[in-house]
Chains A and B, each alone.
Chain A
Amino acid sequence: MTKHDASRRAFLVRAAVGAGAAAGAGLVPDAIAQNHDHMEGGTATPGAQHPSGSEHGAFFNHTDAATIAAFTERIMPSEPGKPGARDADVLNYIDLALAGAYAELQDFYRRGLAQLEAYCRGVYKEPFVRLSPEHQDEVIASLENGNATGFAYPTAREFFNVLRTHTMEGMFADPLYGGNRDFAGWRLVGFPGAQAIFTPTDLQSKLEFTRAPIVGLQITAKGPMGRG
């Protein structure tokens, strides 16, 4: 018993020190600050405005917000009638998640964004947000297949996988969490939300379900569901 008590205390101490060290890591905030300075030095860059139109910035600064908005929009592009990351406000979802449920990933994002910027500047001489959509897609593909250089932690693949996962969460999680605005993601795929019941007639139908409004945790769409 005493042996377990000792190891348990040691674990708790380590955990506490680990958390402090991560939060206080000096290197990465500096790198981000440099990027930020550079961006601020230009005129009216795409990142100067919070792309969601909201200014609260729970976690990201403007520069990081612009990068995440651009990146997630390439993962799920918006087109008329086909809601994407911008329409669903995926940026807002990720921003809120990193300030709360995913706070332990703050350092992952800081380092990942710094590495992404360094990679883009190295290859294209520009930050990610200023690249053409074609070049942005090249960058994302190089993360996905692990070919992007200069990534240590997170690795290029890890950073891609987390951004893809969080994009899907922001598209499809209940609007309560800050994304899936106006059920944009659910309209894209035709998901009616948390319906409490499907009838035998619903189960027998070969047609799309449009009988009832989309149901969310706090809000229900007006009128029967429809896409786009």
Chain B
Amino acid sequence: MAIEKTDVVIVGMGAVGGIVAAELGKAGMKVIGLERGPRLTTADFNPHDELRYFQRQELRPNWKRQPVTWRPNARATAHPLNVLNYGNQAGGGTVHYGTLSWRMHEDDFRARSQTIERYGASAIPEDSSLADWPLSYADLEPFYDRTEYELGVSGKAGNLQGRKIDGGNIFEAPRSREYPLPPLLDDQSGVLFAEGARKLGYHPFSSPRAIISQPYHDRASCTYCGFCQAFGCHVGAKSSILVTKLPEADATGNFRLLTGTMCYHVNTDNSGRATGVSYYGPDGSDNTMEAEIVILSPFIYDNTRLLLLSKTDKFPNGLANSSGQLGKHVMAHIMARIFAAYDDRFVNIYMGPSAQKHTLDDFNADNFDHSGLGFIRGGQISVSTADLEAGPIGTAMSMDPPPGTPKWGAAYRDFLGKYFTRYAAINSQTENLAYADQTIDLDPNVRDQYGMPAPRITYDWRRPNETARVEFLLQKLEGVGHAMGATKVWRGALSPGVPGAHHEGGTRMGNDPKTSVTNRYGQTWDIPNLFVIGSSTFPSMSGFNPTLTIQALAYMSADAIAKRYKSRPGPLA
């Protein structure tokens, strides 16, 4: 059993951990990063193998050894989810993500106020805990900008300092300058989607992605191989934390990464201060890392789980839980999906970055009038491969055949044989309002490989506001599919209530210690030297992928710690 001391210990070296490690290391603080997975290199991702990385999920947690359970409601028994769509290595999910890099809209930061102002308080479902963020878009804009430029994001501005620009996202919030890199090339699905959307009067654009379209910071640009979502990039063009911030952290000389380590406890003393963490080493050893600052930045489940598991006499309901809000208000994107297929041409959607290739934002957030629609908030609409990755295994597993065609047999073989190269999937990634009874807690029956109780999600998206919105968006998707000139357009099946991608919540941030777990910096109200940074702090989620916002928050928190907390430890105002 080793006991070591450091200035800062970071649990989880993904989208947040790498940024915070690099920035605090540059500020002269000694940083230890704990990461349960390995540290891979670009060379590990060549050649590409769909079975290994997509189907067998090699870059993701093993759902049997590291189970996360789900039940639709508090009366049901939870069972392990068999797909865990987040990271399990240094760089976390950014190693294998689809790289979508969205800034949230201005009204995403104040969804509650915006809804009341425009539609009245009664428009918010009674059981929803929809809340404003404790910061505005303008507060975060400099950090969005920094993330885009330091990591490398390709796209086209649609709103430069208030000037709307055709071809970019005209619904985006004002940005201070253009993207650092031009948009990625369109493939045929993007071309068809853009043509169809324009016919309907919508405003399509190339999705902003953390893939470099030109050489940048000594890295090679995208080769459009198509092995993107679920895969590491074989040329390092994906701006993952692995090829951006971890080398920066290394260069500070103040950073040490401990791979194969699993944090199981946050240690606190009688004064209510965090003293460090306990963790298992790769050899099963039980170790302690004492630290002046503890930063939790694993995927969201482990924040709630660690804080609950670390309860003491002083914190009997778990750490940082005097508000009673720990583990509540969990959200996940709801995927509405249609397929469009062509008899008269090929689409070859397996070419190019595979996820959300082209987007229209006309029905996201409060970008359209919801009066009389029976729901609030929206969804982003984009063209993608069937399962956001491009290969035939994923397509066979995820692409529902049209009504009347079975899922096996000669007719299915002929369907897949004809349309694998002739289809496009159109998705609406739909916002999920916060509800207090969508929760994470400790599963009483299922334990992981370390003997720790599995995180248990209690969640079912099928509430009236969400189902009405999904039906509205499905009709928009069908309209786009027809406008794209497809021979056939049909709906994909909806999930049976299970949480989709991009989980948020559990350690909600806010302005009031009575109703939130952390302040805007992820600093817990109860323990000022304990931070939780990541999407678990989101009070609402938006229809956009969370990664760029997570990373901008990481820069903002690191900035506050280096410039203010370091010289004067205590609550950050």
Contacts and interface: CB of A to CB of B under 8 A. Distances in A.
B402 to A, nearest CB: 17
A191 B55 CA distance: 17
Given A79-B410, A164-B407, A169-B51, A189 B392 contact: yes
B113 interface: no
B85 interface: no
Contact of B449 (A11, A137, A168, A174): A11
Secondary structure type dominating chain A contacts: helix
A176 B451 CA distance: 36
A74 B346 contact: no
Nearest to A79: B410
Interface stretch (A1-9, A25-33, A37-45, A53-61): A1-9
Given A75-B408, A197-B224, A203-B188, A185 B392 contact: yes
A4 B49 contact: no
A189 B346 CA distance: 12
B205 interface: no
Interface in A90-105: 101, 104
B234 interface: yes
A76 B391 CA distance: 18
Given A4-B265, A164-B407, A203-B224, A194 B396 contact: no
A209 B407 CA distance: 26
A197 B233 CA distance: 12
B254 interface: no
Given A76-B413, A169-B55, A190-B421, A205 B407 contact: no
Nearest to B350: A191
Given A195-B225, A206-B188, A77 B351 contact: no
A101 B348 contact: no
A173 B186 contact: no
Nearest to B284: A8
Nearest to B231: A194
A10 B449 CA distance: 11
Contacts of B413: 76-77, 82, 84, 188
Contacts of A104: 64
Contacts of B391: 172, 191
Nearest to A167: B408
B78 to A, nearest CB: 18
A198 B224 contact: yes
Contacts of A190: 417, 420-421
A174 B396 contact: no
A206 B56 contact: no
Contacts of A77: 409-410, 413
A165 B83 CA distance: 14
A8 B452 CA distance: 7
Given A11-B449, A79-B410, A189-B417, A194 B223 contact: no
Contacts of B264: 4
* Residue among A84, A164, A168 with most chain B CB within 10 A: A168
Contacts of A196: 47, 223, 225, 234
Contact of A198 (B226, B392, B393, B410): B226
A137 B49 CA distance: 32
B562 interface: no
A197 B223 contact: yes
Nearest to B280: A8
Given A4-B265, A11-B451, A190-B420, A173 B50 contact: yes
Interface residues of A, number: 55
A137 B406 CA distance: 12
Interface in A144-162: 144
Most chain B CB within a 10 A radius of its CB, from A76, A186, A215:
A76
A8 B450 contact: yes
Contact of B348 (A11, A185, A209): A209
Nearest to A102: B56
A217 interface: yes
B147 interface: no
B345 interface: yes
A199 B346 CA distance: 16
Contacts of A140: 408
A75 B410 CA distance: 8
Contact of B49 (A164, A185, A217): A217
A204 B186 CA distance: 8
A80 interface: no
Given A169-B51, A194-B47, A203-B351, A7 B223 contact: no
A168 B399 CA distance: 12
A200 B224 CA distance: 9
A189 B55 contact: no
A108 interface: no
Contacts of A168: 392-393, 396-397
Given A10-B451, A203-B224, A1 B265 contact: yes
A194 B447 contact: no
A77 B410 CA distance: 6
A194 B203 CA distance: 34
Nearest to B390: A191
A198 B345 contact: no
A202 interface: yes
Nearest to A187: B417
Contacts of A197: 223-225
Given A188-B417, A195-B225, A206-B188, 12 more contacts: A8-B451, A77-B413, A101-B56, A169-B55, A173-B51, A176-B49, A191-B421, A198-B223, A200-B185, A203-B352, A204-B188, A217-B49
27 contacts: A4-B265, A4-B452, A5-B286, A7-B451, A11-B449, A75-B408, A76-B412, A77-B410, A168-B396, A168-B397, A169-B393, A174-B50, A176-B49, A189-B395, A189-B420, A191-B350, A194-B49, A196-B234, A198-B352, A203-B224, A203-B352, A204-B188, A205-B188, A206-B188, A209-B346, A209-B348, A217-B49
A-B pairs with lowest CB-CB distance, top 7: A8-B451, A189-B420, A173-B51, A168-B396, A197-B223, A172-B392, A11-B451
Interface of A: 1, 4-5, 7-12, 74-77, 79, 82, 84, 101, 104, 137, 140, 144, 164-165, 167-169, 171-174, 176-177, 185-186, 188-191, 194-200, 202-209, 215, 217
